[in-house]
Amino acid sequence: MRMLSLCRVFVCNRFSLTAWVLALIVLVFALFVYVCFFYLDICRFDAFKDGCQRPHPAQGDEAHYFKTEVRREKFSSLAGDIIGLTKIVNANSIYAVSSSPDGKVFLGGGVDAKIIQVNSDEENWGVIELFEGIKVIDDIKFLNNEKAVAVGSEGRIYQSADGGVSWVLYNPEFPFGKTNPWLNSLRFDEAYTVAFADERYGLVGGIGRLLNTKNGGKTWHSIDVDADTVFEKIILKSDRSGWAATNRGLLRTKDGGNTWGTIFSFNKFFYGRLEVFALDYVENGLLCFSERYDVYCSDTSESFNKANVEWSGKPRDRWGRVSGIKMINSRVGWFITDTGEIYRTEDGARNWKLWVDVMSYMKGNSDCLDLDECKVALYSIASGVDSIYVVGKIEMSCKVGAKIYRSLSVLLNWKVSSEEYK
């Protein structure tokens, strides 16, 4: 009996020791997981702490060139202008294009939030992947040659201070942010647009939220807006007045976005939303915007006239729309559609003619293997120092070289003469 008791004590003590060791291992593992998913995540994205910033370099061996994933072509518009076409295979959808004042061109997309720089040297054309974050980049804006801001899904605001070489996240989603009213005021579902009046004052808008900065993006603060307002596009002038394309119509502000008034609205709804989507302004006073396939312009910002568009013969997509407008002066400009067409005006946006049908070009060159299902969508248009850039996506089975892909991103560009810019 004594021997049995001793055995029981020994077994129990040994079991207890094993349990304690296992518990300690579990605790250490839990701590490791906590550090990886909490602290390291903060250090990865926290732009408040200099020691935690980890920008992704794009120099030397660490730059990723898509040499085998890019195909460069050239073709002519209906007017005979030469257009460059770049097919970028592994960039997913490209939604944004922007140019810095010194001519560097950047693309933004998703679903993994790539920011890509375009090497526009015609002798060495290519793209460089600079950064890969989370989800989607919807808009990129340069304040000057060095400072830039990019926005996207979940209201994330990325910033660059070195000309787009590296990017950090301003508003990370900390676990304790759920109980922090200030952080909560910076968080929203999607940021679609960013605009700056100068190098210090800017706005970020999206679904039910509008933020402003007065120090070039160092800090952001929420502006009260209706929760059901969706800001698709914002333009700010140097005096902080501006316009916004929204689901409520075309809005105007005279005080940097603190208050807004509706200057153009519609009686019809599309998906339950008023589709004011594309918007552009040139400094001499011409303002243009779109509502689905209708284009309106005004040189007074008060009375708008519907433009005459000579649409191509193919049927308009019932869910489609004009997705971008770019006027380079009061006479010349282009608009793009999410059905793969580019139209041009030469008379101050009064009349527009088809300039390029990208989908017809793709089918004519047998890039789309399933011609009946081939679709081209164009998402964004921007002007550079001497060029215009358009980004979009080819959907369905497409061929690049010897490889076949379900879809791929496209970048189009063409030169603009100095005479046209005048």
Indicate the domain borders of the chain: 1-45, 69-421
How high is the pLDDT of residue 309?
Answer: 92
What is the distance of C-alpha 325 from the center of its chain? 16
How high is the pLDDT of residue 93?
Answer: 76
- How many C-beta atoms surround the C-beta of residue 172 within 10 A? 18
Name the pTM for this structure. Answer: 0.78
How high is the pLDDT of residue 123?
Answer: 55
CATH class for the region spanning 69-421: mainly beta
- How many C-beta atoms surround the C-beta of residue 329 within 10 A? 15
How high is the pLDDT of residue 24?
Answer: 77
Average model confidence (pLDDT) across the chain: 76
Tens-digit pLDDT profile for residues 72-109: 788 888 888 888 888 877 666 788 999 999 888 888 87
Q: Is 25 in a helix, a strand, or coil?
A: helix
* pLDDT beneath 70, residues of the chain: 1-17, 20-21, 29-69, 90-92, 110-113, 120-134, 171-185, 266-276, 301-302, 314-319, 366-367, 371-372, 401, 418-422
How high is the pLDDT of residue 272?
Answer: 45
